[in-house]
């Protein structure tokens, strides 16, 4: 019991609640469905996550038909003893567990395994739910009326007034956990799609090879049992339209494709693939036996038992001969499989070419793509473009007229020349002013011009000084 409590207490659902809350969850709270629907839905969700976790962790007992591995997608409701597996110290066993499972079945969280494997309708089709409507919406009086009219059977009603043992008897069985099934199917499809350049052989499996390929990798930390794999195959075929199953042949397909079937070529390639896998397994086994014989020879020689060493040596020689034969057969089968796959691929490529050619011819046969129609269309387009340009020029001219913006270029040229001439005149006038200012600064003082006793400037000297100043060579 201590181990069971420790195991349950490790679950996130148990770690997130107090002891008082756990006692409420372990009580028979079915009456809250109508009086307190919010609390009832919260409690139901807690049990859904708890039961789902116990299934995926493999904490339930193996089914009668599955001994090698515990089911990781299927919940086994064995009866009232099932509640004992969830007994918790200080709290007891869950009193309303039978009703909880019945509710989860009604919500399609759990689906009866026999019904799931045999029903041809997808589990996602809403369908007609007369029992659910009658028992939970309309009520028991109408159910009684339907019984009297033989519309429903008295054996179908699992009403709230039934005893606990009676409810356990009615819900006893195996149920697929839908959320886990969906996760496992997604894992299978991801692993299959991850194969780069999937060949025809890679898309074909038998049940055993499918189980070897996908049982250990699609759910983290879990290995799917044979019953789990059968549920996954049914789900992928019927509900996801991702595979075809015919006898022992399993073929992955594109869900968008239609009229896909398993052909004789598929069956032949699968047989070749299976033969290659079987021969490869034999080769691996022979190699292991060769290693064992070699170890036996070494051990016998160390013990100085020559007869035993010779026996191991003879057997090793026989195994080496057998290994050579199996390797030759394996090479032949592998080469044949590659050629068959190549030929099948060529057929698909040629079909694509044929379809493409037919499509192209159909498009080219359209009346709009006839040569005369194309020429007519191009001429009409050129004419339309020319008309558009003319209209654009007319509109532009009309806009300028309307805005009064028509200006003669000759008038602009004349105005520009006048502005240039004015600028030249102003420049020359400025130069004359600068020259006059320079001459004025060079003019001798009045007392010199009037004659001085010390120095007198002659007219010739003044003329020379003026000339030098004008030429810019005046020295101080």
pLDDT at 476: 43
- Between residues 1 and 432, which one has the greater pLDDT? 432
When mean pLDDT is compared across 125-139, 200-214, 361-375, the lowest value belongs to: 125-139
- Of 201-210, 228-237, 259-268, the poorest mean pLDDT is in 259-268
Candidate from 52-56, 107-111, 276-280, 408-412 with smallest mean pLDDT? 408-412
Instruction: Please state the rounded mean pLDDT for residues 399-424.
Output: 76
Task: State in Å, rounded, how far the first CA of the chain is from the last one.
Answer: 128
Tens of pLDDT, residue by residue over 429-471, are 998 888 888 887 766 655 555 544 444 455 566 666 656 655 6
| Average pLDDT value for residue range 370-380 | 87
Q: How many distinct helices (H) and strands (E) make up the chain?
A: 20, 6
Contacts by 165-170, CB closer than 8 A, 24 or more apart: 165/80, 167/98, 167/99, 167/102, 168/77, 168/79, 168/80, 168/82, 168/98, 169/79, 170/102
| 406 pLDDT above the threshold of 70 | no
Residue 404 confidence (pLDDT): 59
pLDDT at 131 over 50: no
What span, in angstroms and rounded, lies between the C-alpha atoms of 188 and 212? 12
pLDDT per residue over 144-179, tens digit each? 444 444 444 444 444 444 467 888 988 999 999 999
Give the count of alpha carbons within 13 A of 464, CB side only: 6
Q: Which is nearest to 376 in space by CA: 384, 386, 364?
A: 384
* pLDDT score, position 197: 63
What the block records as the tokens of 387 is 């008309």
The partner residues of 205 in beta bridges, in order of sequence, read: 250
Q: What is the mean pLDDT of residues 244-268?
A: 85
Give the position of tokens 């780069």: 196
- pTM of the model as a whole: 0.65
Distance CA 197, CA 98 (A): 49
The residues pairing with 249 across neighbouring beta strands, listed in sequence order, are: 246
pLDDT of 132 > 60? The answer is: no
Taking the C-alpha atoms of residue 171 and residue 156, their distance in angstroms, rounded to an integer, is: 11
Q: What is d(CA 318, CA 82) in angstroms, rounded to the nearest whole number? A: 56
Neighbours of 231 (CB within 10 A): 26
Give Cα 38 to chain centroid, integer Å: 35
> What was the pLDDT predicted at 126?
76
29-80 tens-digit pLDDT = 988 988 999 999 999 999 999 999 999 998 886 544 444 578 999 999 998 8
């Amino acid at each position: 019991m201590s181990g069971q409590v420790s195991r349950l207490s490790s679950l996130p659902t148990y770690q997130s609640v107090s002891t008082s809350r756990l006692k409420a969850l372990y009580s028979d709270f079915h009456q809250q469905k109508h009086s307190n629907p919010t609390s009832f839905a919260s409690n139901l969700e807690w049990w859904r996550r708890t039961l789902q976790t116990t299934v995926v962790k493999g904490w339930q007992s193996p089914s009668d038909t599955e001994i090698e591995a515990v089911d990781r997608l299927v919940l086994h409701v064995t009866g009232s003893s099932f509640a004992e597996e969830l007994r918790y110290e200080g709290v007891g066993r869950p009193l309303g567990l039978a009703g909880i499972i019945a509710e989860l079945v009604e919500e399609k969280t759990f689906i009866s395994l026999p019904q799931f494997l045999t029903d041809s309708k997808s589990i996602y089709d809403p369908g007609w739910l007369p029992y659910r409507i009658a028992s939970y919406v309309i009520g028991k009086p109408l159910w009684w009326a339907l019984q009297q009219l033989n519309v429903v059977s008295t054996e179908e009603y699992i009403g709230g007034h039934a005893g606990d043992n009676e409810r356990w008897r009615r819900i006893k069985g195996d149920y697929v956990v839908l959320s886990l099934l969906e996760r496992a199917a997604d894992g299978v499809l991801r692993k299959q799609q991850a194969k780069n350049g999937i060949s025809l052989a890679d898309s074909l499996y038998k049940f055993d090879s499918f189980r070897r390929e996908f049982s250990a990798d699609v759910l983290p930390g879990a290995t799917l049992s044979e019953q789990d794999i059968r549920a996954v195959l049914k789900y992928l075929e019927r509900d996801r339209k991702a595979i075809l199953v015919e006898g022992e042949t399993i073929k992955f397909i594109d869900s968008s494709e239609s009229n896909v079937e398993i052909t004789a070529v598929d069956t032949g390639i699968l047989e070749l693939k299976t033969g290659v896998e079987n021969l490869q397994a034999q080769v691996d086994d022979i190699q292991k036996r060769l290693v064992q014989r070699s170890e036996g020879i070494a051990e016998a020689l160390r013990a100085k038992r020559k007869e035993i060493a010779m026996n191991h040596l003879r057997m090793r020689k026989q195994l080496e001969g057998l290994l050579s034969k199996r390797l030759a057969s394996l090479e032949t089968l592998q080469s044949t499989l590659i050629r068959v796959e190549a030929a099948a691929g060529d057929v698909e490529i040629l079909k694509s070419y044929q379809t493409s050619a037919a499509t192209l011819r159909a498009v080219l046969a359209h009346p709009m793509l006839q040569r005369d129609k194309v020429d007519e269309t191009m001429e009409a387009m050129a004419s339309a473009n020319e008309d558009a340009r003319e209209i654009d020029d007319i509109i532009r001219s009309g806009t300028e007229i309307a805005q009064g913006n028509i200006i003669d270029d000759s008038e602009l040229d004349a105005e520009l020349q006048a502005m240039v001439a004015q600028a030249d005149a102003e420049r020359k006038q400025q130069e004359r002013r600068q020259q006059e200012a320079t001459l004025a600064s060079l003019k001798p003082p009045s007392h010199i011009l009037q004659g001085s006793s010390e120095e007198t400037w002659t007219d010739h000297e003044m003329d020379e000084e003026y000339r030098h100043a004008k030429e810019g060579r005046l020295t101080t």
